[in-house]
Amino acid sequence: MALKKKYALLSGLIIVTAVLLLPAMIPNLGSLPPQPIAFNHRLHMERVQGIGCRDCHQLAHLQTYAGIPSKFVCFDCHNPDANESDANADAFKPEFGTLMAFAKTGEDIPWHRVTFTPEDVFFSHRRHVAVAKIDCRKCHPEIPDRTSPLDRGPIMMGMNTCIKCHEEAKASVDCVACHR
């Protein structure tokens, strides 16, 4: 009887410990810290005539990763030397204060990445965007409508999404093509 009680207590303890440790074992589950600037994709896609994803994410056609643009890409359009009397006074909205503060420092904007595949999965933007000529929106459909950065993550593209398209496009479905 006493022994049974001891086991019950022990297994109870193990369950409680496991439940307490679970969040620590699944990193970044749930909300991410906010991005340094509340960047608005939709506004940029609508207000800048002829702008493409590629104008800011310039590495996607060349590298495995797409990259989040450096501050100098922003300064192509948002002049850090402008002042309030300029015609472009529109540029002095609250969010700009944060952007312009980065013009005065040597640091770049500390954006953090949200979309991932696991480390053992190989994915190349160049291969899909430049070689297979797939539109960014096909894999990132939510982005053009976002008025604020993605705030929940990490966002993982599931294996079934990759395989479904690979089957349709007659691309490789060999395990080692993606798991290297």
Query: Please, which of residues 27-46 interact with ligand HEC by CB under 6 A?
Result: 35, 37, 39-41, 43-45
Give, in order, the Cα–Cα distances in Å from 95 to each of 36, 86, 91, 100: 10, 18, 9, 9
Spatial distance between the Cα atoms of 148 and 38, rounded to a whole number of angstroms: 6
Handedness of CA 33, 38, 40, 44 (dihedral sign): negative
Q: Which is nearer to ligand HEC, 6 or 135 (CB)?
A: 135
**What is the nearest approach in angstroms of ligand HEC to the Cβ of residue 106?**
17
Helix (H) or strand (E) holding 116: strand 115-116
State the number of binding residues for ligand HEC (CB under 6 A).
78
In the complex with ligand HEC, which residue's Cβ is closer, 106 or 158?
158
For residue 59, the minimal CB distance to ligand HEC (Å) is 7
For the CB of residue 24, give the shortest distance to ligand HEC in the complex, in Å: 19
Residues 130-149 that bind ligand HEC (CB under 6 A): 131-132, 134, 136-140, 143-144, 149
Minimal CA–CA distance to 42: which of 156, 171, 147, 176? Answer: 147
Is residue 41 within 8 Å of residue 146, measured between CB atoms? Answer: yes
- Binding map of ligand HEC across residues 101-130, x = CB under 6 A, - = no contact: ----------x-xxxxxx-xxxx-x-xxx-
Looking at 7-15, 16-24, 25-33, 163-171, which segment touches ligand HEC (CB under 6 A)?
163-171
Helices (H), 33-111: 41-47, 53-56, 71-75, 94-101
